[in-house]
Amino acid sequence: MANTYTQIHIQAVFAVQNRRSLIHKEWKDELYKYITGIIQNHDHKVLQINGMPDHLHILFGFRPTQTLADLMQMVKQDSSIWITEKGFVKGKFNWQSGYGAFSYSKSQLPRVIKYIQNQEKHHQKKTFLEEYEELLRIHEVDYDKRYIFKEIE
């Protein structure tokens, strides 16, 4: 759209269904490239992607050409199908419903990028749930513990 100028940076965080550790080192880079492609195909720009075997963090420049909910649905749906079709897991792969999305100013990006790059280091001290709840608190997001990403049942 002419005369529309934006600078929107989002960190999206989402988990494997039941927070199971299904993302393996052998294929995680391939997954990150696939997800980057999905996001770029919708004219957004991935700045950093990384995660752990049970969850992902994606920092991207977001263009207001679609809703965040639609983009996240496509990322999760398309990557779930791709993981299943590639046979990376036994049975069908699914992401847990929901996600966290947090906005950042341009000046905060180097710190957030470094944070995402160092996921393995952070998770030596904190669980995913502790990390996620801290993000919610820092960003002053009201939440109900009953609906936070569920552990394996």
Q: What is the CATH number of the domain that holds 13?
A: 3.30.70.1290
In a domain, 2, yes or no: no
Which position has the token pair 């960190």? 11
**Nearest 5°: CA angle at 37, between 111 and 150?**
65
**Token code pair at residue 149:** 């990403």
Q: Which residue has the higher pLDDT, 123 or 9?
A: 9
Counting Cα atoms < 13 Å in the Cβ hemisphere of 53 gives: 8
Residue 75 lies in domain: 9-147
In a domain, 75, yes or no: yes
In a domain, 121, yes or no: yes
In a domain, 1, yes or no: no
In a domain, 109, yes or no: yes
Indicate the range of 8-22, 26-40, 59-73, 118-132 predicted with least confidence. Answer: 118-132
In a domain, 3, yes or no: no
> What are the φ and ψ backbone dihedral angles of 22, each rounded to 5 degrees?
-105, -15
Query: Is 138 exposed, middle or buried, given 0-12, 13-18 or 19+ CB atoms closer than 10 A?
Result: exposed
Type of residue numbered 141: V
Query: Measured between alpha carbons, how far is 122 from 136 in angstroms, rounded to an integer?
Result: 17
Quote the pTM value: 0.91
User: Helix (H, G, I), strand (E, B), or coil: what is residue 9?
Assistant: strand
* Structural domain total, the chain: 1
In a domain, 30, yes or no: yes
pLDDT in tens, 70-86: 999 999 999 999 999 99
Look at the alpha carbons of 102, 108, 113, 114 in this order and tell me if their dihedral is positive or negative: negative
For residue 127, pLDDT over 80 is answered with: yes
pLDDT in tens, 99-118: 999 999 999 999 999 999 99
In a domain, 112, yes or no: yes
Choose among 52, 41, 26: nearest CA to 78.
Answer: 41
